[in-house]
Structure 1
Amino acid sequence: MVRLDGAIVQHGRSNDRVYLMDIGSADASLLVPKLLDLANERGYGKIFTKIPRSVSAPFLEAGFLVEATAGKLFHGQEEGLFLGKFLDEKRQDEVLASEYERVQRLAFSTNHAMARQEDTVRLCSKQDAASMAKLYAKVFDSYPFPIDDPSFIMKTMDEGTVYAGIEEDGALVALASGECSFKEDTRYSEMTDFATLPEKRGNGYALLLLAFLEEELKKRGILTAYTIARAISPGMNITFAKAGYAYGGRLHNNTNIAGNIESMNVWYKSLV
């Protein structure tokens, strides 16, 4: 994670990309060439950005493509754009495109009735970090961030990420988080880090965690929730469709998760 002109940028070989996470106070016209320089110097295949539409012109002029949108993402008012710039042309090609589209159709056709069992879910604290890291290590072969490290989990808690978990017999069996930005011009949360032990799947735990986190984050002033979900995963896409999220688009070959770089779907929802 680095700062460029006030923007927060994450980059690395695992995802083979530069990710503009928060443009902050940066001047987009000055930031774009610096992102391109960084990507070219490191030989990355993609630059990925999440920005408000009002600052998008310099990105679009530089050849960035709108891969997805999220209505009212910034401060519950301004549309957010997820842009991709492919420095490696092959990076844009999706071998599994037909499967991604099948999953998307499946999510759209799913009954949206939801079960609610809030008493099975609780907030997690730093005391849970070690057991949380072990659960994530069991579920994911790889992940964009080191969530199998207890110290990383505790650091994210300090930075505003809210974690929820489900226990059985005193042991965590499912987790999820809301990665919050409480700044006045954002006030959004990425609903992420969903993980259920393989032997505990099929119980609707992701839906329970999502509903619990939405209520908790609304109390804390979050206006909009969104997610970047694996396009190959029927379960997660169905979960967000059931929870009333709108589909925003697909990010091509965007994220290294479960051992491979995969395409991701954007879903979003107003919490007000």
Structure 2
Amino acid sequence: MNQTASTIFLEEDYYFLEVYLDPFNKRIRIDDYRGNTKLLMEKAEELVLKHKAEKLIIKVRREDYFTFLEEGLQPEAVVDRYFLGSDAYFFSKFYTLERKNNDHWVIEDGMIHSIYQLDTSVQKAFPPKEYELRKADDSCAKELAALYRQVFQIYPTPLHEPEYIKKTMKEGTIYYTFFHSGKIVSAASAEVNSLYKNAELTDCATLKEHRKYGLMKIILQELEGELQRKGIYCAYSIARSLSFGMNAVLFQLGYSYRGRFMNNCFIYDKLENMNMWVKNLANC
């Protein structure tokens, strides 16, 4: 199996699976399913074996919660209203001892507790006039890739490659950026699921020297406005559990903590835990 992630669709007699094969992060994610849960679970584990994955993640519908619990999976996070208004439970199963072992869990619990003590009366940020907010198009791909290369040593998707960014734009991902002196210094995106009307706010990056002006909050609010105009009200974001700043930004923007993925992906400089944050944009 090469290092490129891909989505495959498996339609058998008694079930359907939409599978995201993610060799770089040594995991397999079931993004959608229907049919016989026992048979589809057998197929999922067959894929785990075939692709030597260490972790399986399944986005489970509320009515199948106990079925997947009985299959030996455990819920790690939930996204309210993910499936056209119905909640999605992210269940996981680990296949190696190392992948299930973690030294940061207690520290990260403490961080969530600290974040919930923060003041939520967010003052609107007004960065200096040299900063210009822009929606990105494919002419920005090369510079976006350069920004992500600079901020993240490693990243769970190939954002270091301009062609990959162009591909995501064609598939409906929306990017907003801040320019300073003609260069992109901050960016984030909304990865839209048009079938189930939800969006993941992701790919958040700001160059260190530009982090004091609240640029990320402004970009995320701009993305939220764009989603609302498209009739998408379920917004969620998955932040590095060790990043106080990013988790605090999401909390102060009205997102609620909804769980933590253990050893979820390779990001920044290692395999990390990731926190789930969710917001209902219909209430804004």
TM-score normalized with structure 1 length: 0.92
Equivalent of 1:170 in 178, 182, 190? 182
11-20 or 207-216: which moved more? 11-20
| 2:264 paired residue number | 254
Secondary structure of the structure 1 residue equivalent to 2:155: coil
Task: Kindly state the Cα deviation for residue 164 of structure 1 after the two structures are TM-superposed.
Answer: 0.5
The amino acid across from 2:102 in the alignment is: E
CA distance in 2, matches of 1:172, 1:199: 13
CA distance in 2, matches of 1:56, 1:162: 32
| 1:43 paired residue number | 52
| 1:53 paired residue number | 62
Equivalent of 1:192 in 202, 214, 235? 202
Give the CA RMSD over aligned residues: 1.8
| 2:76 paired residue number | 67
Spell out, residue by residue over 1:110-163, the C-alpha distance to the aligned partner (whole angstroms, 9 max, x if none): 111223358942211111111111101111111111011111111111111111
Equivalent of 1:4 in 9, 17, 21? 9
Equivalent of 1:225 in 200, 216, 235? 235
CA distance in 2, matches of 1:8, 1:134: 32
Spell out, residue by residue over 1:211-262, the C-alpha distance to the aligned partner (whole angstroms, 9 max, x if none): 1100111101212000111111001110110011111011111111012111
CA distance in 2, matches of 1:23, 1:111: 37
2:94 corresponds to 1:82 = no
Residue 121 to residue 27, structure 1, CA distance change in 2 (3 Å): farther
- Detail structure 1 runs of 4+ shifted over 4 Å in the superposition: 24-27, 117-120
CA distance in 2, matches of 1:26, 1:222: 27
| 8 Å Cα contact 1:103/1:233 also seen in 2 | no
2:123 corresponds to 1:115 = yes
CA distance in 2, matches of 1:15, 1:238: 26
| 8 Å Cα contact 1:182/1:221 also seen in 2 | no
Equivalent of 2:158 in 143, 146, 149? 146
139-148 or 116-125: which moved more? 116-125
Residue 128 to residue 27, structure 1, CA distance change in 2 (3 Å): farther
| 8 Å Cα contact 1:164/1:176 also seen in 2 | yes
The amino acid across from 2:226 in the alignment is: E
Equivalent of 2:40 in 26, 31, 53? 31
Secondary structure of the structure 1 residue equivalent to 2:213: coil
| 8 Å Cα contact 2:79/2:278 also seen in 1 | yes
| 2:26 paired residue number | 16
2:139 corresponds to 1:127 = yes
The amino acid across from 1:193 in the alignment is: D
Secondary structure of the structure 2 residue equivalent to 1:248: strand
Equivalent of 1:96 in 100, 104, 109? 104
| 8 Å Cα contact 2:133/2:178 also seen in 1 | yes
The total of aligned residue pairs comes to: 268
Spell out, residue by residue over 1:11-61, the C-alpha distance to the aligned partner (whole angstroms, 9 max, x if none): 3342121122x2055654432211111112232211112232234454322
CA distance in 2, matches of 1:111, 1:197: 25
Spell out, residue by residue over 1:81-105, the C-alpha distance to the aligned partner (whole angstroms, 9 max, x if none): 1111011133222211122112212
| 8 Å Cα contact 2:141/2:162 also seen in 1 | yes
Residue 194 to residue 83, structure 1, CA distance change in 2 (3 Å): same
Q: Structure 2: any 5+ residue segments left out of the alignment? A: 1-5, 11-15
Bigger Cα Rg: 2
| 2:13 paired residue number | none
